[in-house]
């Protein structure tokens, strides 16, 4: 059986079975403890065994793989994308395209993201990981250094949330498509626990911080025996540099041993500069066939462009501009190209939105399950027994709600209404409100949810509720208003960003006898806007209808210079509320401005 020769020959020369490369692993340890050096040793063994590997490098530490340890001869012919030692440039927006390229070339690679900001690193890797899973089908060992950056325990930005989701998916399902991740971090406590706990193997180097030691202990509690845990924690703070405790409880590779890793055969490009010591620069570097690689990259990039919605939109605009410049109707060929580009763009956008919707739905289901469990526990504490969850309620558009003696909604709409929607999940079990009575703002929120339910939308978005309740949905006032309604069991969150009534909440809400109109909905949104210029822009976009407008058209309709700061300041609130999006000189209404159920 083939072995990975990772141990120091002077200290038993420990080996690990080749099968270890197929297991998900996490390498933990303080800065300077030898983690990256150990990773390079494993990468060298991959190359020796003919196993393709790649490296995610956020600090420019891995380029030394291209040279020998003394820098005098060539090392591994690894292809470096990006960074200060790039063989080929890296497009910060090209994560998905690069995934197709590295799968196509089937040779060792390094993706050096040192020169990108934290947010751009996370965005790039989210796209790269997602696409890599889609297209890879052969073995690929992927070293993910500084993984706590893009798979953090606490995701504070939208970019970090996106990259965490993609990394976690890779850890969960990557093995199915031949992707074997090796996660490396010096901030054990900062690495997302879901990612760490999915790993079958741990390589633990010297760790001194109490929080980081606790993270090590948490991993060993689920993967090692009590005696092994005790022995690890006893030596953890004093392990020699380059020495790691290697543990695997996986049935195919069971091991628990302390290994002093051998010195790498490649150049140490991650070494910390030392005072009084001359920095050695390699004189020989291995190189790949970059000419052939560029040709293959060009083909892949072109293929990606053909299916990129932004690229398709650009082509449409170019053709339209060419036709306009020609001073007449477009030719038959131009019309055909226009239709082709528009159809492809629509199909691509639809596919992307379907994927995003699936992800949102899965997250919403998980959040609803958690909310349901919390509600049951609260009800048990109040009533002394575990209540039964309320049955799901189906809402129909022609359903006549019983009048409760309160004010009714405006006159009915005159156009045909779409089919009804069904509530996908039951609300939490009823919780006693202890005599709680909604105040004016809270009553408007309850009434607004009932307003939406009357047209078949029992789970409206928080923004949609805010518009009808005439409370700015992006401010703290809205959250402060809804909070007590949730606490007292009148509303609940069926999924992230949405709100619905519980049976108790339905009893407090004013249910309209007749469905509302789109005009009334727009009037509610209009009342939230603070400045006359913003209202003028809102009215112009509403009058234009659901289709997109150019910035120039909005400026012309409102008599506001589209190139000035006043225009940006006035249209900004519409984007903040989520009722429009802007880009490439265009203004596009969202579904929040023209809901399908009111169109």
- Check residue 75 and give its pLDDT: 94
Q: What stretch of H or E contains 140?
A: strand 140-144
Which segments in the chain show pLDDT lower than 70? 1, 274, 276-279, 289, 292, 296-316, 319-320, 322-331, 333-335, 349-434, 475, 514-515, 598-599
Q: What stretch of H or E contains 239?
A: none
Could you give the CA distance from residue 506 to residue 399 in angstroms, rounded to a whole number?
Answer: 14
The tokens for 98 are 């690069």
- Check residue 599 and give its pLDDT: 56
- Check residue 55 and give its pLDDT: 98
- Check residue 313 and give its pLDDT: 63
Query: Which residues, including other chains, have CB under 8 Å from residue 92's CB and lie 6 or more apart?
Result: 116, 120, 123, 124
Could you give the CA distance from residue 96 to residue 171 in angstroms, rounded to a whole number?
Answer: 18
C-alpha neighbours within 13 Å on the C-beta side of residue 427: 22
Q: Which of 98, 101, 103, 132 is nearest to 113 (CA)?
A: 98
C-alpha neighbours within 13 Å on the C-beta side of residue 407: 8
Burial label for 570, CB within 10 Å (0-12, 13-18, 19+), is buried
Could you give the CA distance from residue 518 to residue 451 in angstroms, rounded to a whole number?
Answer: 12
- Check residue 414 and give its pLDDT: 31
The tokens for 169 are 């998916």
């Amino acid at each position: 059986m083939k072995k990975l020769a990772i141990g120091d020959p002077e200290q038993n020369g420990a080996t690990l079975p080749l099968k270890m490369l197929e297991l998900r692993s996490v390498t933990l340890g303080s800065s300077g403890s030898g983690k990256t050096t150990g990773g390079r040793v494993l990468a060298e063994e991959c190359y020796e065994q003919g196993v393709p590997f790649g490296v995610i490098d956020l600090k420019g530490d891995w380029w030394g793989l291209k040279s020998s340890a003394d820098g005098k001869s060539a090392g591994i012919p690894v292809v470096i994308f990006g960074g200060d030692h790039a063989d080929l440039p890296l497009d910060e927006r090209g994560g998905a395209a690069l995934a197709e390229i590295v799968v196509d070339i089937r040779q060792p690679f390094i993706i050096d993201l040192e020169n990108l900001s934290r947010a751009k690193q996370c965005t790039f890797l989210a796209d790269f990981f997602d696409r890599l899973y889609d297209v890879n089908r052969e073995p690929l060992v992927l070293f993910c250094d500084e993984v706590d950056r893009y798979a953090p325990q606490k995701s504070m930005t939208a970019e970090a949330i996106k990259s965490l989701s993609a990394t976690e998916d890779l850890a969960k399902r990557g093995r199915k498509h031949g992707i074997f991740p090796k996660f490396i971090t010096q901030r054990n406590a900062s690495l997302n626990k879901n990612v760490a706990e999915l790993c079958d193997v741990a390589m633990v180097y010297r760790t001194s911080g109490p929080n980081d030691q606790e993270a090590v202990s948490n991993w060993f509690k689920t993967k090692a025996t009590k005696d092994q845990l005790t022995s690890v924690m006893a030596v953890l703070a004093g392990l020699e540099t380059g020495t790691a405790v290697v543990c695997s409880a996986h049935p195919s590779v069971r091991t628990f041993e302390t290994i002093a890793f051998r010195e790498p055969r490649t150049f140490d490009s991650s070494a910390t500069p030392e005072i009084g010591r001359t920095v050695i620069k390699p004189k020989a570097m291995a190189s790949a066939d970059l000419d052939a690689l560029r040709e293959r990259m060009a083909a892949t990039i072109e293929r990606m462009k053909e299916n990129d919605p932004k690229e398709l939109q650009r082509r449409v605009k170019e053709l339209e501009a060419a036709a306009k410049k020609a001073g007449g109707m477009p030719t038959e060929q131009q019309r055909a190209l226009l239709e082709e580009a528009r159809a492809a763009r629509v199909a691509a956008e639809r596919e992307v939105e379907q994927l995003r919707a699936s992800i949102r739905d899965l997250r919403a289901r998980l959040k609803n399950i958690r909310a349901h469990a919390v509600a049951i526990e609260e009800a048990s504490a109040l009533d002394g027994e575990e209540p039964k969850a309320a049955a799901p309620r189906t809402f129909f558009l022609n359903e006549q709600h019983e009048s409760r003696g309160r004010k009714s909604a405006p006159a009915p709409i005159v156009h045909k209404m779409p089919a009804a929607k069904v509530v996908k999940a039951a609300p939490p079990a009823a919780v006693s409100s202890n005599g709680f009575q909604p105040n004016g703002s809270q009553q408007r929120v309850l009434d607004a949810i009932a307003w939406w339910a009357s047209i078949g939308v029992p789970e409206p978005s928080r923004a949609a509720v805010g518009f009808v309740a005439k409370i700015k949905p992006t401010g703290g006032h809205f959250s402060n208003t809804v909070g007590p309604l949730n606490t007292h069991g009148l509303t609940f969150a069926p999924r992230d960003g949405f709100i619905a009534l519980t049976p108790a909440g339905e009893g407090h809400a004013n249910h309209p006898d007749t469905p509302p109109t789109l005009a009334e909905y727009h009037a509610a949104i209009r009342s939230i806007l603070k400045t006359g210029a913003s209202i003028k822009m809102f009215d112009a976009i509403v009058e234009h209808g659901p289709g997109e407008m150019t910035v120039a058209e909005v400026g012309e309709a409102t008599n506001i210079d589209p190139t000035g700061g006043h225009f940006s300041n006035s249209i900004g609130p519409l984007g903040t509320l989520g009722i429009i999006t802007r880009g490439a000189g265009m203004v596009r209404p969202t579904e929040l401005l023209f809901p399908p159920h009111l169109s």
